[in-house]
Amino acid sequence: MTLATGIAVPVFIHLWHRRPGKVLRISSVQLLAASSVRHARSWRVSDWWLLLLRCLLIVLLALLLSQPVWRKPLTARTVKGWVVTEQAAYPAFRHQIDSLLRQGFQLHATDTAFTHLRRPDELTPDTSTASYWQLLQTLSHKVPADLPVYLFTGNRLARFSGPMPAVALTLHWQTMTPADSVDNWNDYTYLLENDSLRIRKGRSTPSGTVFSYHDTQRGNNDTATLYYTIYTDKYPEDARYLEAALKAVRQYTHRKISLLSVRQATAIPASQDWLWWLSDSPVPANIKAGRTIRYATGTPQIVAATIGNTDIRLFRRLPATDTAGAMWLDSYGNPLLTKDNLYTHIDPTWNELPWSGEFPEMLLELMLPATWEKQHDRRSIDTRQLALPAPAAAVKPAVLPQQETSLEKTIWIILFLAFCMERYLSSKTAVKSE
């Protein structure tokens, strides 16, 4: 609207009308007559059509800058259906997509706006890392529930993070395996007890991700020994259970690990990689460790649960005050192990960790986690997991979806025609004035 006020400029120019001077012949008797004082200017509009065309040009420019669209309700009566595809998926489903487009389906990109495209060659590479479930949620607000939608995407499992949304869509979803379906990388390197190097290598394929170990002679890699310290004052049995589990981890990995168990705080080294503080007292400020896990304090609660996704039973736990970065949860979703606090004890009266063969595995995953990033993940989702929930359980959008059609091309055409007419009338007016 601000730009449209620019029409005041041509209006002012046309109102500021200067009448041409009167031409008299030489020796005319009118030169001898007394002349009256007249002004050569008058406030009146001249060249109405030229004024209207120039005002129209300014209004069209203002509309063009505002990127106008034409909105109308999107229903199965007005549109036959949508085809939403990624550029990488188009070659794999070319014949099916082309057949749907010939039947009258609209082609749309997989961006957040679901841009309407005229031809498949207008598809751009998909660089998004957002979840396909999020894409599905956005799509449900763009189309009505009875409109057929054909969705063609990749099947990379990393793009299916989060819960599946309950949406009302007539969806036909087909997936394909991307070209780069296999990835190999070095995940972790550490020093063994015999001073050789062990390299943990990762290999990810559509069927899964596996890790293998390869031992080599020590080179120039600087991998130091890991120092683990267990401190306890009144829980010696807990310390023995934990020490046995850590020894099992060391025996399995052959990692060069120095394990120390003490009952006096003064015997704790000045620094270590891991410190297990099995005590109710606070950790002294002068003790340094790369990672400290301490017993939480509080009144124990009697529970009947399990630890995480295991069958390890949990009998007692402490109320969690620090829920950030929870790594172990009970079957009710309550934190058992966070970044710094353990909200249970390593004791048979608290849980079955001391007697479980899964306890060393849990410690191995905690201390030597697989550090591979999402970029290495080549696993594919099972197509059976793409089945949407029943329509009765889906949530229908409250607002009727709208179809937007860009008016930029139409305005450009009108703008060009108006400009040509303005130039024609302007030149014609100039010839007349001469």
Query: Which pLDDT tens digit goes with each residue over 360-391?
Result: 999 998 887 766 667 788 888 988 888 876 65
pLDDT bracket for residue 231 (50, 70, 90): very high
pTM of the model: 0.55
Tell whether 34 is covered by a domain.
no
Q: How many CB atoms lie within 10 A of CB 168?
A: 19
The verdict on 389 and 272 lying in the same domain is no
pLDDT over 90 at 90, yes or no: yes
Residue 32 placed within a domain: no
Judge if 291 and 417 occupy the same domain. no
Per-residue model confidence (pLDDT) at position 299:
92
Q: pLDDT value at position 1?
A: 56
Across the chain, mean pLDDT equals 82
Q: What is the mean pLDDT of residues 400-413?
A: 76
pLDDT band at 28 (very low <50, low <70, confident <90, very high): low
- Smallest CA-to-CA distance from 291 within 303, 280, 283, 301 is with 283
Q: Kindly state whether residue 114 falls inside one of the protein's structural domains.
A: yes
Question: Which of the given ranges, 182-196, 210-224, 228-242, has the highest pLDDT on average?
Answer: 228-242
- Tokens 């000045």 belong to 270
CB atoms within 10 A of CB 330: 20
67 band by pLDDT with thresholds 50, 70 and 90 = confident
Q: Domain for residue 63, yes or no?
A: yes
Quickly tell me which residue has 């949620």 as its tokens.
137
pLDDT given for residue 349 in this prediction: 95
234 lies in the same domain as 342: yes
Instruction: Please tell me the predicted confidence (pLDDT) of residue 12.
Output: 58
Q: Based on the domain organization, do 62 and 138 belong to the same domain? A: no
pLDDT for 65: 80
Question: Does 93 lie in the same domain as 170?
Answer: yes
Q: What is the pLDDT, as a whole number, of residue 194?
A: 72
- Does one domain contain both 341 and 308? yes
Could you tell me if residue 185 is inside a domain? Answer: no
Residue position matching structure tokens 């015997």: 267
Do 394 and 418 belong together in one domain? no
pLDDT in tens, 151-175: 999 999 888 888 888 888 889 999 9
Binned at pLDDT 50, 70 and 90, residue 108 comes out as very high
Residue 121 lies in a domain: yes
Decide if 392 is inside a domain: yes
Cα distance between residue 240 and residue 247, in whole Å: 10
> Per-residue pLDDT averaged across 332-357, rounded?
93
Provide the domain limits for residue 414.
3-22+39-68+407-433
Shared domain check, 350 and 312: yes
Domain boundary among 370, 390, 417: 370
Residue 223 has pLDDT above 60, yes or no: no
Q: Is the pLDDT of residue 37 over 60?
A: no
Domain count for the chain, please give it. Answer: 3
- Integer CA distances (angstroms), 24 to 30, 34, 290, in order: 8, 14, 104
In this structure, the answer to whether residues 397 and 411 fall within a common structural domain is no
Tokens for 392, please give them: 């009765």
Shared-domain flag, residues 244 and 349: yes
Q: Are residues 310 and 399 in the same domain?
A: no
Average pLDDT, integer, range 42-61: 73
419: its two tokens = 């400009």
Torsion from C-alpha of 150, 155, 157, 162, nearest 10 degrees: 0
Within a domain: 134: yes
Which one of 348, 370, 392 terminates a domain? 370
CA distance 164 to 159: 12
Q: Kindly tell me if the per-residue pLDDT of 40 is higher than 50.
A: no
Task: Decide which of 20 and 321 is more confident.
Answer: 321
- Is 284 found in the same domain as 158? no
Cα gap 215→208, rounded to integer Å: 23
In tens, the pLDDT along 285-319 reads: 889 999 999 999 999 999 999 998 889 999 999 99
